[in-house]
Structure 1
Amino acid sequence: MQTVRHLSVPATLSELRHSFSAARTAVCLIEVFAAVLLAVEVTILLCGAIWRYALNSPLIWSDELASSLFSWLAMMGAVLALIRGEHMKMTAVVKRWSPALQDWAESVSSLIVCVFVAMVMLPAGQHAIGQMEITTPALNIPDGLRAFALPFGAALMSLVAVAKAFSLGSFRRTAWAILTVAIVVAILWVSAPALIAMGNLNLLVFFVALVGVAIVLGTPIAFAFGIATVSYLALVTHAPLAIVVSRMDEGMANLVLLAVPVFVLLGGMLELSGMALALINFMCSLLGHVRGGLQYVLLGAIFLVSGISGSKAADMAAVAPALFPEMQKRGSDPEELAALLSASGAMTETIPPSLVLITIGAVCGVSINALFVGGLMPAVVATVTIALVCWLRTRHEKPTHAQRAPVKQILRTFVIALPALLLPILIRVAVIEGIATATEVSTIGVAYTLVVAVIARLCGKPVELRRLYGMCVDAAALSGAILLIIGLATSMAWALTRSGFSSQLVSLMQSVPGGTIGFLLVTIACFAILGSVLEGIPAIVLFGPLLFPVARSMQISDVHYAMVVILAMGVGLFAPPFGVGFYAACAIGKVSPDGVSRRVWPYMLALLIALVLVTFIPWVSTGFLGATPNF
């Protein structure tokens, strides 16, 4: 008679956690794959640009190969972001809860990810198999090889999500999370006939209530969009879930968006090469001796490096640690510095090569060249208004003890900073003049920065080139998170369009009292709210394709409307108490948000003044485009 070994629940759970941990460790091998993919993408695009512009012999296969690899890079990046907890999400509410409730909420959000990927995995596989029948024109290979990135990535994300759900808290807490999700699924399933009978009011259930609850619980925004979309299509429509996959694939495969991971990598390389620090040192030698001089240096540095990293937090983190210690030595209040940092992040949302500009160009059909031209003057206006607040706040300070830098020191720091000063000019001029596309110029910028880093190392500077691998992994993860939002927001936007909501929204916006002025004011209010919750890119992907045609029907320039939208979202993103960018600035400044929130409002008021000026003086956005539309 065999002896039966009785396993206790805690022992079984421990074994499960160990196996999930091993699975997660195995998935981390994707880092190497993602880093190599990004390096290969940069090489292919750089070679394509050189052969096209320098050798006048275009490589007809380069864009096609880059596009095929891009789908794999996006999905592997999304997997990495899930492993590392770097998907965009709102945690301001959950952080106020007890540790037990936080663990429960994180388990629920992980299970939401599991449910979503389980619902799309089979349609993703079918979509990839269907794409095998299509061959690419230049390389003559099946397009399914590219499309298989979606089911492969979904499978990996399901493993990661399950591992996270069962590795948090106690077995009882995990069981409660599973029960919570099961109850919600059962309620939605049983309520399907009633939801169908509600007509378009059921959109409030799926795209307001369900998305809102998921986001409040800390579910990554991309998966909150995804679960709402598949739930809506599965329960109240006859549309196949393959539509979600195809729209997601379409949204993520746009070659214009390949600039996203490359610009993110470029931002990291700016810090690696020492160019960001050299730029700050030069500006300090010019302005460090005047009252509030370092505040102006902070504004100028953010203006010059903004948009290149692909993350507002990364922009701020590249500048603040180099400036804040010296500013505090000179008597600046840490909370005041964090407030200024928050405002400076909001003011530069329109500066090229901002990823929000690239996203608008890709999903709304607006010329990226025109957006790059139009984005500079609104940022200048916002910078001047912020600088005015700095002057008002520092004009009565005691004179600084810092000495005016001698001319010799200014010239020396200028020479050292010259490569950093030339890079933003190189990027913006190349795109604005049509010399290269935004994607191509991003690879040129990476090559340029790498050459500078190698030269600096040969000259004895402490440049750690071994950090390039980690930067490639970081860039892949951040861009994967961004691209997954774009893909799933594209699917959600299609569902809203299919329901008829888009036409209703267009009619509503066109009937706003006040005509064009009323429409612009409503736009500002809506995107300020959306920016505080969703950040820029998901809000643009969801509502940009719906509202830009309305703006065109009112004879508002696409570029002008884009600047209004972006600045409004910037104000929402960095305004307390909901703006996630505001909390990022406080974290970088290492201060409590409570004290900063009292000091940030004068800067927010200055940004609102800048927004009003940009809104009602279209020339600010379009004056250098050769056309000034009237209201």
Structure 2
Amino acid sequence: MVAQATLLLFGSFFVMLLAGVPISAGIGIASIFTALFSMDPAIFALTAAQRCFSGIDSFSLLALPFFSLGGNIMNKGGIAKRLVRLARLAVGKMPGYLAATNVLANMFFGAVSGSSVAATSAMGSIMAPLELDEGYDPNYSAAVNICSAPTGILIPPSGPLILYSITAGGVSVAALFMGGYLPGILMGLCVAGLAVFIAVKKGYKSSAVKDPDPAVKIIIDAVPSLLAVIIVMGGILAGFFTATEAGVVLCLYCGLLSILYREMTFKSFYNLLADTMESSATILFLIAASSIMSYVMSYSGIPAAISNALMSVSSNRYVILLIMNVFLLVMGMFLDLTPAVLIFTPIFLPITRSIGMSDVQFGIMLIMNLGIGSVTPPVGSCLFVGCGVGKVKIEGVTKYIVPLFAAMVVALFLVTFIPAIALCVPYLCGLVPSLGWTF
């Protein structure tokens, strides 16, 4: 019974995915198709409707459109350019310094916007012309931009971490946010280190180009943008506002900055609101459809069956986590981050709890896996956006993405097998009880 339900649910879902059916519709149709073979249709219809509404009836979900809008405002409001100048100053004159600047700028932008796709678009459009002027291979430049963008969903604030918190049943958003700092920085350092190594091999020299403004002015110009991080994270940790209210504060603050910078018109702001509404509606529809899938999986006993199957392979937690990581990396190639979080959290969270992994560490590991998946074909959102703004083809960037992908996986395994990397900062803030495995 369980095997049949599993085959029907995921088999029909991936068939529709390959057929080009939108993911949200595919999730809903696959769930309905499976339910018709395993439960009373009348009962399922009533319960499914209730699950749809209860799935999106959450105050915490309001954080997602607000953080999305905040990231869009930063992209168009002049904030991204100031962060790039600061990153360029911080990197100095090392070989391939523009590539390292791209990585650091993505980390800065991610620390304020929490969106890897927004970071890919913003930083790519700014950095690509600069790197082209200094003789960088456009494919190399685009690959570095694409592979460093996922740091934006780890370094808080982060929309995907909020989504995981809701899906996991209320894991502390503050703990997840604080837990994302070191993994995000680690991933950025791994990508930057390899990018500089490639730059040295390709003979890219340090630049003789000097910014016309002094260092003090560049820092002062960037301080208001970075202050957004302090306001948002400080307010959450101090208990002044929730993550949802922090999203509102971020929008207001970034909107004020964009007005002061005079780089946003009423028309562009209207377009930003329209884009945010469209993306938010898509996410809400995904969550509603995924609520039906979660109900069907629970009713059919699929999570427990997968857990038992995985635990039967080995009782060693490291082997289990290795298998889980490989599975998530592969699935990340075919699924966007949002539906993947909604689908795999209820499946794998009970397993990680049974082997003593903290919910916070699992959340960081899950988002890190799916973030890496966003740089790989065939569904990599960062890959397609990065190739678009860099005006290159996927075939060209692949030779550079492969080694950078390996560097990202190294960072992932370090976070997976060394709990303190994800739990150190939350532990010091009193948000998690320990730094390691629990039993």
State the SS of the aligned residue for 1:533: coil
Indicate conservation of the 8 Å contact 2:115/2:152, yes or no: no
Query: Is 1:623 matched up with 2:424?
Result: yes
Amino acid corresponding to residue 281 of structure 1 in structure 2: R
Please give the alpha-carbon distance, in whole angstroms, between the structure 2 residues aligned to 1:223 and 1:434: 38
1:225 to 16, 23, 27: 27
- 1:503 matched to 2:304? The reply is yes
Which range is displaced more, 436-445 or 226-235?
226-235
Q: Supply the distance in 1 between the matched residues of 2:91 and 2:306 (Cα, whole angstroms).
A: 50
Q: How far did residue 621 of structure 1 move?
A: 0.6
Matches within 5 A, 1:107-118: none
Question: 1:253 aligned to 44, 57, 69, which one?
Answer: 57
Aligned to 1:290: 94
Q: Distance in 1 between matches of 2:218 and 2:111?
A: 24
Q: Which residue of 1 aligns with 2:135?
A: 331
1:532 matched to 2:333: yes
Residue in 2 that maps onto 1:98: none
Q: Name the structure 1 match of 2:68.
A: 264
Q: Does the 8 A contact of 1:516 with 1:554 survive in 2? A: yes
Give the SS at the match of 1:448.
helix
Of residues 556, 559, 572, the one that matches 2:357 is 556
Contact 1:572 1:579 in 2 (8 A): yes
Distance between the aligned counterparts of 2:112 and 2:31, measured in 1?
32
Deviations 1:326-373 (A, max 9, x none): 111111111111211221123443221221100111110311110001
C-alpha displacement of 1:545 = 2.1
Deviates further, 374-383 or 203-212: 203-212
Matched, 1:592 2:396: no
User: By how many angstroms is 1:580 displaced?
Assistant: 4.3
Per the TM alignment, residue 204 of structure 1 is displaced from its structure 2 partner at its CA by 4.6
Q: Distance in 2 between matches of 1:283 and 1:584?
A: 22
Where 1:574 maps in the other structure, the secondary structure is: coil
How far is the alpha carbon of 1:391 from its aligned partner?
1.9
CA distance in 2, matches of 1:542, 1:588: 30
Distance 1:208 1:568 in 2: 20
Structure 1 position 486 matched with structure 2 position 287: yes
Give the structure 2 partner of residue 315 of structure 1.
119
- Indicate if the aligned counterparts of 2:123 and 2:145 stay in contact, CA closer than 8 A: no
Q: Write out per-residue CA displacement over residues 49-69 of structure 1, whole angstroms, 9 at most, x where no aligned residue.
A: xxxxxxxxxxxxxxxxxxxxx
SS of the counterpart of 1:237?
coil
Which runs of structure 2 are paired with 1:333-352 in the superposition (5 Å)?
333-352=137-156
1:584 counterpart letter in structure 2: V
Which of structures 1 and 2 has the larger relative contact order (alpha carbons within 8 angstroms, sep 6+)? 2
Structure 1 residues 200 and 399: CA distance shift in structure 2, 3 A: closer
Aligned to 2:273: 472
Distance in 2 between the 1:467 and 1:534 partners? 31
Q: What is the root-mean-square deviation in Å for CA atoms of aligned residues?
A: 2.1
By how many angstroms is 1:477 displaced? 0.5
Give the letter for the 1:341 counterpart: N
SS at match of 2:95: coil
How high is the TM-score relative to the length of structure 1? 0.65
- Measured in 2, the distance between the counterparts of 1:250 and 1:308 equals 30
* Counterparts of 1:418 and 1:310, CA distance in 2: 18
- Separation in 1, partners of 2:304, 2:80: 47
Q: Does 279-288 or 337-346 show the bigger shift?
A: 279-288
Distance 1:222 1:398, change over 3 A: closer
Residue 362 of structure 1 is matched in structure 2 by 166
Match of 2:348 in 1: 547
**Distance apart, 1:308 and its partner CA:** 5.3
d(CA) in 2 for partners of 1:467, 1:246:
38
Please tell me whether the aligned partners of residues 97 and 206 of structure 2 are also in contact (alpha carbons under 8 angstroms).
Answer: no
Cα pair 1:338 1:591 within 8 Å, conserved:
yes
Structure 2: runs of 5+ lacking an equivalent: 428-433
Sort the Cα spacing of 1:398 and 1:455 in 2 relative to 1 into closer, same or farther, 3 A.
closer
Name the residue aligned to 2:234: 429
Match runs of 1:118-197 below 5 Å: none
- Amino acid aligned to 1:374: G
Measured in 2, the distance between the counterparts of 1:391 and 1:400 equals 11
Residues in 2 aligned to 1:216 and 1:412: alpha-carbon distance in whole angstroms: 52
Deviations 1:159-191 (A, max 9, x none): xxxxxxxxxxxxxxxxxxxxxxxxxxxxxxxxx
Whole-angstrom CA distance in 1 between matches of 2:3 and 2:437? 37
Aligned-partner residue type, residue 373 of structure 2: G
Paired residue for 2:81? 277
* Residues 363-396 of structure 1: CA deviation (Å, up to 9, x unaligned): 1031111000111101111111111102211235
Partner of 1:166: none
| Partner Cα separation in structure 2 for residue 306 and residue 399 of structure 1 | 27
The aligned residue for residue 255 of structure 2 is 450
- Deviation of 1:511 (Å): 2.9
1:336 partner SS: helix
How far, CA to CA, are the matches of 1:481 and 1:254 in structure 2? 16
The answer (yes or no) to whether the contact 1:284–1:294 under 8 Å persists in 2 is yes
Partner of 2:46: 242
Q: Is 1:582 the counterpart of 2:383 in the alignment?
A: yes
C-alpha contact 1:265 1:446 (8 A) present in aligned 2: yes
State the one-letter code of the partner of 1:402: A
Given residue 389 of structure 1, which amino acid in structure 2 is its aligned partner?
A: L
Unaligned runs of 5+ in 1: 1-198
Query: CA offset at residue 419 of structure 1?
Result: 1.1
- Deviation, 1:278, is 1.6
| Cα pair distance change 1:399/1:474, threshold 3 Å | same
* Matching residue's letter, 1:618: P
Assess, with a 3 A threshold, how the Cα gap between structure 1 residues 580 and 267 changes in structure 2: closer, same or farther. Answer: closer
| Superposition pairs of residues 370-385 of structure 1, within 5 angstroms | 370-385=175-190
Q: Helix, strand or coil: the match of 1:240?
A: helix
Query: If you compute each CA radius of gyration, which structure gives the higher value, 1 or 2?
Result: 1
Tell me the percent identity: 26
Change over 3 Å in CA distance of 1:557–1:286 after alignment to 2: closer
Counterpart in the other structure of 2:317: 516
Task: Count residues in correspondence.
Answer: 428
Report if the CA contact (8 A) 1:247-1:490 is conserved. Answer: yes
Residues 307, 472 of structure 1: alpha-carbon distance in 2 compared, 3 angstrom cutoff: farther
* Counterpart residue identity of residue 499, structure 1: S
Displacement of 1:455: 2.5
Moved more, 549-558 or 611-620: 549-558
CA distance in 1, matches of 2:211, 2:112: 29
